[in-house]
Amino acid sequence: MKKGTVFIALLIFTFHTLSAQLTFFVDIQKSSSITINGTTNLISFKLSQGGDKLAKRNFIINATQSQNKIVLSQNEHSISVRDFNSTNKLALRDFLKLVKADTYPTFHVKLNYFEVDPKVINRDISKANASIDITITGKTKQYNIPITSNREGELYILKGTEKLNIRDFGLTPPVEMMGLIRVNEWISIDFNIVCKINTYKNPTEMNALNTLKKQSL
């Protein structure tokens, strides 16, 4: 499993002229982020993880398209639980305890496919629905997440939000201070992925790509 491939997958739909198969080189920028937003009966809290936490941010990957659906040669991603941070240290501590970080140090995400909306595609913006399996503490749930990609110069910026109920993963919202503070069972996960994407089609480009691939091993 290569860390980061799902984020690449979610960006490739920006290339709506994708042929039967195409090879991509993707460079995920440090300005990317994943954010978990939650609330208690008293306050809201935010946990975030930056693009610099990815073990590897440069990838070579193949994508294939059938009608409006796109699938990849690699489609799984692991997120290190302890790489999240927060200005609310108590919220971060409780979060790590809630998701049993010592036993389950990573979340797992698997992209089944994503389906492009042909009505919302132009040079600078695209929309799609991503079918994704999310695994937390060993329990897996499937979601269909609306994705939007915007192009700004040489960068592609992908954004999406999904609301989750932590009880779906067998987790119980924590209660603090003898019941005075209760955590809401609903959280939202926001992602903002910024990257550069290059495609390779002809033999000259593919030779250069193969050289780059060997250097990255």
Tokens of 63: 């994508």
* 149 or 4: which leads in pLDDT: 149
- Examine the pLDDT at 7 and tell me if it is beyond 70: no
What superfamily would CATH give domain 5-216? Lipid/polyisoprenoid-binding, YceI-like (2.40.128.110)
**86-91: average pLDDT:** 89
* CA dihedral over 164, 169, 170, 176, signed as positive or negative: negative
pTM of this structure: 0.76
Q: Which two three-digit tokens encode residue 158? A: 């992908």
Residues in the chain: 217
Average pLDDT rounded to a whole number, residues 15-24: 59
On average, the pLDDT of the chain sits at 77
Domain coordinates in residue numbering, the chain: 5-216
pLDDT of residue 138: 92
pLDDT for res 216? 46
Note the pLDDT tens digit of each residue in 113-144.
878 766 655 555 677 888 889 999 999 999 99
